[in-house]
Amino acid sequence: MSYRSAFRADLFAGQTHIVTGGGSGIGRCCAHELAALGANVILIGRNIERLESTQAEIIADGGKASYYSVDIRQEADVRDTVAKIVADHGQIHGLVNNAGGQFPAPLLKISKNGWDAVVSSNLTGGFLMAREVMNQSMREKGGSIVNIIADMWRGMPSMGHSGAARAGMLSFTETAAVEWASYGVRVNAVAPGFIASSGMDSYGDEFANHVIPQMRGTIPSSRMGDEDEISSVITFLLSPAASYTTGACICVDGGSSLNTKLFGLKEHDRMPEQKAFHRAVKPMAVQRMMKK
Ligand SMILES: CCC/C=C/C(=O)SCCNC(=O)CCNC(=O)[C@H](O)C(C)(C)COP(=O)([O-])OP(=O)([O-])OC[C@H]1O[C@@H](n2cnc3c(N)ncnc32)[C@H](O)[C@@H]1OP(=O)([O-])[O-]
Ligand SMILES: NC(=O)C1=CN([C@@H]2O[C@H](COP(=O)(O)OP(=O)(O)OC[C@H]3O[C@@H](n4cnc5c(N)ncnc54)[C@H](OP(=O)(O)O)[C@@H]3O)[C@@H](O)[C@H]2O)C=CC1
């Protein structure tokens, strides 16, 4: 198995975990990590080619993976797909609600359809997946759900539709954690900061050449995160190490959500040796996945 996880190799042996958006970026990386830890991984997304290719990579690495193509915004399709997954694989132990995305635009340039497309991708879709997994497996057998949100604290300028949806997803996480605790189901969230994922490449040249360098200057850790740094926290939350953790949100952002925009740390505030130190240090010290 080529994915070098920080966790014990048989952590999820005999378990089935669903990763939405598992064909690319953070979801693909997480699918690799869960498979390397023994899980039977179910990949969900719309683009069959990407799902097929991630499945093939995992199988080539000696892991178990299947995929189901579905748009998480379509209620009946989500219900039928979860039913198929349960029929094919039995109990669902974990759900990673990672699928989502948005387009950069100021509020005044967002049409109703644009708003709805983003809110349904990042809020309604996650709710539908969680409700169906709960109704069709977890309410009988327990499980763990991890919702991926974003750094939307104090607003998300230029991505206001996404910020509103992610804030909603955090509230959903907290409500579900309370309502579903007595079923043995834990529900937590992970809020990534700026992660150098394949998804980040989808916003065009202006974003890559101007917005990303500007954002990088506001990150106390002086670098963007890597996909595996999100995946390891998802893995922790799915695992028994987090058995008393529910309704929590872990920010995985190199400190960026704490850096005040007014008088906060900027790139030019750092001493040259501090910059070099921060760039050199990455806790796990290995780049486990190639970005795709
Ligand atoms: C700081 C970074 C933090 C976060 C990083 C990440 O998340 S990383 C990576 C995460 N990955 C990604 O973000 C992946 C990339 N993102 C996506 O795939 C899309 O943003 C999506 C999720 C909305 C797709 O939804 P969909 O296929 O249903 O969309 P559709 O094409 O059917 O259009 C529906 C409506 O939206 C409108 N509209 C669409 N684009 C733009 C635009 N640029 N401008 C203005 N409007 C736009 C479109 O015109 C239409 O409205 P209309 O004309 O009928 O009034
Ligand atoms: N990278 C970053 O810095 C950050 C990322 N995030 C969030 O993390 C998650 C993963 O992002 P990342 O890996 O970077 O980006 P990607 O664009 O690579 O991943 C998004 C995935 O979601 C899937 N998806 C999107 N909409 C749907 C849908 N309606 N139904 C089913 N699948 C869908 C896509 O697959 P397909 O197109 O095949 O359907 C794709 O695999 C996203 O929710 C993202 O917004 C949050 C904060 C920061």
How high is the pLDDT of residue 163?
98
Q: Whose CA is nearest to atom 28 of ligand 2?
A: 71
Cβ(96)–Cβ(17) under 8 Å? yes
Q: Which residues contact 263 (CB under 8 A, 6 or more apart)?
A: none
How high is the pLDDT of residue 267?
66
Residue 163: CB within 6 Å of ligand 2? Answer: no
Q: How far is the CA of 154 from the centre of ligand 1 (A)?
A: 22
SS3 state of residue 250: strand
Any residues with Cβ below 6 Å from ligand 1, and which? Answer: 101-103, 105, 111, 113-114, 117-118, 121, 150, 197, 199-200, 202
Average pLDDT for runs of 10 along the chain of length 292 = 92 98 98 98 98 98 98 98 98 98 97 98 99 98 98 96 98 98 98 94 89 88 95 98 98 93 66 58 50 54
Tell me what ipTM this predicted complex has: 0.97
Please tell me the pTM assigned to this model. 0.94
How high is the pLDDT of residue 1?
74
How high is the pLDDT of residue 285?
38
How high is the pLDDT of residue 259?
86
Could you tell me the residue ranges of all domains in the chain?
16-203+226-259
How high is the pLDDT of residue 260?
75
d(CA 44, CA 24): 10
Q: Which atom of ligand 2 lies nearest, measured to the CA of 162?
A: 45
**Which option is the CATH number for 16-203+226-259: 3.40.50.720, 3.30.230.10, 3.30.930.10, 1.10.238.10?**
3.40.50.720
Q: Which helix (H) or strand (E) holds 237?
A: helix 227-238
d(CA 66, CA 61): 14
